[in-house]
Chain A
Amino acid sequence: MQSMASWKIFINPERCIGCHACEMACEQTHGGISNIKVQCAPVFCRHCEVPPCVTACYRNAIEMRNGKILLIKDLCTNCGICVFACPFGAIMTTTITRQIEPGKKAHSAVPCHSEARSAEEPHTEHEKPKRSLADARDDTPRERQIVLVHKCDGCLERAEASGARPACAATCPSGAIECKDIAQASSLKRVRTYEVHLVTHLAHREGTSP
């Protein structure tokens, strides 16, 4: 992969056979959650140069690196504003069950100065409102359903580590998902248009259908 910034993941919906291999490959590469979904054809992040999601994020939890837009899990509060900002619907949501470690507060351990008390924290007679994490004494194992916000990261880690293609492109059996340098892709499209015109034109001239 020469310059990672200039390659994009392209899909050709006409080649999609709806097999879900891309979803499984993405899931296995990203800790069990897929950032791609087959909905008549695979849909995922376009890694825009001027990303609406980055603008929308109030915590600067989305950044660009090597031409790819990455959502930083540790800063993300799953507020979902980016979901609405993205024009492609490429930012996805999955409901997961999060375990809350005993002794910790219900929401994820995100450092923040003015913590309002979460509505899920149990009120007992013995408990007084706490200000610091260290004072929380609740030891019962707890679970919480949260809607996790996630999106395609262009398999940047894979690319940076070994130059490997994104998992979805690597696994696609029909070649519907490809990873290409965008300039090359643009040029190939023009060649293809010419080919189609040529075939149709010649065929019409011969009087046969292509």
Chain B
Amino acid sequence: MMVKKNKVSVICPYCGAGCRFGLIVENGRAAGIDYEPDHPVALGALCPKGNSAVELLNHPERLTFPIRREHNGTTRRITWDEALQFVASKLRQIREDFGADAVGFLASAKVSNEENYLFQKLARLFGSPHVDHCARLCHSPSIVALSRAFGSGAMTNPIPDLENSRCILIIGSNFSENHPVVSRWVLNAKDRGAFIIAVDPRKTPTTEIAHIHLMIRPGTDGILLNAIMAQILREGLANYDFIASRTEGFERLKNKLQQFDIIKAAEQVGVPVEDIVITARKYATSPSSAIIYCMGITQHRHGTDYAASCANLALLCGHIGRSGAGIFPLRGQNNVQGASDMGALAEFLPGYVRTDDVKKRQLVAKLWGCEDLPSSGLSVTEIIGAILDGKIKALFVMGENPIVSDPCSSETEKALSMLDLLVVQDIFMTETANFAHVVLPAAMWAEKSGSYTNTERRVQWSPKALNPPNEAKSDLWIIGNLGKLLGLWDTLPQPEDILREINQVVPFYGGITPERIAKSKEGLIWPCPDEHHPGTPILYSEKFHRENERATFTVPEIDFETPRSFEPFSLITGRVVVHYNSGSITRKLPSLLRYTPKLELTIHPSDAGELGIKDGSTVLVKTVKGTVETVVKVSPSVRQGSVFMPFHFPETNRLTPKDLDPMARIPSFKDAQCQLIRKDK
């Protein structure tokens, strides 16, 4: 029998590194992986998650037909016609009874740009202002703080450029586990003599790379960053030329920093003052320094201020706008940058047009053939509260799992149970899909064509390699047909058509046409305003994106005098290398699950000793939000008084607080505190 075999080059569906690999398809089925060395970021490499692609595509538990769940909980298979008609009529009904703003739309950081663009367009043409996605839970502080400081919220330099840095400050990022391919470039820099500093309350594979590791007390990142800046000022190491010629607002920050007591700060942060001094000197005096940051900075009550402090530090020393010098907020999802660019956010339309900027908003409306569009809506984190208050009656969830990814799962569960309509469009029956009235089976990334924007602003085309199984359909097909039924448009668009519309609506995607990126292995990096533009790997080399082309310093609002204390234990939630976010994918893949099959809480040996807890025993973890049971791992990789739990397992977010950073509306996942209770026989 002839085996029909071919290989299609696709973009990895997992993280924001955006690696490319060859998917081998035999007789229409995923059969293997081919490593393609000519990708600029990955050089053909693929972390364990990427290596699970075949297992993922062929998974037997994939959703392959639409499902209707009755109020008594019974489910039955329905046709696509039935499913879409039901959803459309229910949405119309709710709009009539309660208004379009009683409907929320959760976009996905995993679907293509074309799909997210169409999704937020559907929501807004339908009349709802509530479109948001999981960027809210991770880098919303970066979008807010960096847009304010520089005019744009994205990472400033490409990942391979890290090897050109002479000093790399890694703060709140564990890229060795979460963006593994970044490790190569940081190690290359180190091989060339760069000084590597890691700041993290935990010891991780990433901190092992560093020359010095500042194992800070949880929640003291803001104090540390400002202490570093204060020391730089004190030693006269600031880049005054840069400050004068390219920034504004320095005086206010300078006044605040001059009063900073660095000795006291070192005590509060819990690191030797010498380490702060070394960090300050190395970062400031190196010819080109980079700051890599991630959730350790953003997922706090003051996440936006911490991200703003990172921006301040870079501006203070002029380490931005050239090779080896920049800010690297590593975006998590394969297409979270794209989802943000496409305006799947409550305060933004495509291209970061503010929804409350009436004039600009109406220009977009005109392009879409109408007078106006809704203004700003509620974020992912606020939508749950609005459901509980009875203000939102319906929720359409595309490729998201809020029950596990949102903080305080008990509230999320309560809210979802209250909805008149919950539609979940996904690849597996996730914890959230279990609550849905209608479950729509979606195709996986390799089963549809589209563009995806990685953390470097690199837009890459991922072509369709094989057909989705049975009745699963691409998100584009589903949203496109739903839009038709709702009377919002006449035809079902193809991905290429939508990208062409994006070229018109989003100026910095202007030159990223389907023709150009379909034949490019490395894609195009925005801003790319026209078809002859080569793309912009390094931002701000000449001017910032603010009106007066200067960057601005921002004075953080946090109180530096009193750091938060977490009693009895600070609870830090995070990730491990073989799992991915809510675990809805990776917990189903044996090749990954075998390495980390269950939830484990990591505790310091002294704390374990004091509580009489042994390695491998079970404990109860209690916070104001809930209590869960977990196995314990005793290890000095955490500080005394601090414990760590990965959130890939549903138990973890049952515990986390809902308190939001006021500017970015991100939950303070890393500001939790908990009690540990032994489970005695």
Contact = CB atoms under 8 A, between A and B. Distances in A.
Interface in A167-199: 167, 170-175, 192, 199
A173 B47 contact: yes
A1 B176 CA distance: 30
Contacts of A19: 47-48, 176-177, 180, 205, 577-578
B35 interface: yes
B51 interface: yes
A198 B404 CA distance: 52
Contacts of A14: 187
Contacts, number: 85
B183 A173 contact: yes
B574 to A, nearest CB: 16
A175 B52 CA distance: 19
A17 B183 contact: yes
Size category of the B interface is: 20 to 34
A175 to B, nearest CB: 4
A174 B180 contact: yes
A194 B42 CA distance: 29
A199 B193 contact: yes
A139 B181 CA distance: 52
A28 interface: yes
Given A173-B42, A174-B187, A21 B180 contact: yes
A15 interface: yes
A20 interface: yes
Contacts of B48: 19-21, 24
Contacts of B51: 21, 24-25, 28, 171
A179 B398 CA distance: 43
A210 interface: yes
Given A18-B205, A28-B33, A173 B177 contact: no
Interface string A123-161: 000000000000000000000000000000000000000
Interface string A1-41: 00000000000001101111100110110000000000000
Interface string A199-210: 100000000001
A25 B34 CA distance: 10
Contacts of B577: 17-20
A17 B176 contact: yes
B572 interface: no
Given A173-B183, A174-B183, A24 B591 contact: yes
A15 B35 contact: no
B283 to A, nearest CB: 15
A170 B44 contact: yes
Given A19-B177, A174-B187, A28 B47 contact: no
Contacts of B184: 15, 173-175
Contacts of B176: 17-19, 174
B35 A20 contact: no
B209 to A, nearest CB: 8
Given A17-B177, A171-B46, A173-B184, 8 more contacts: A18-B176, A19-B578, A20-B595, A24-B52, A25-B51, A27-B591, A28-B33, A174-B45
28 contacts: A14-B187, A15-B183, A15-B184, A17-B177, A18-B176, A18-B205, A18-B577, A19-B177, A20-B578, A21-B47, A21-B48, A21-B180, A24-B52, A24-B591, A25-B33, A28-B32, A165-B37, A170-B44, A171-B46, A173-B45, A173-B180, A173-B181, A173-B183, A173-B184, A174-B45, A175-B187, A175-B188, A210-B193
Interface of B: 32-35, 37, 42-48, 50-52, 54, 176-177, 180-181, 183-184, 187-188, 191, 193, 205-206, 577-578, 591, 595
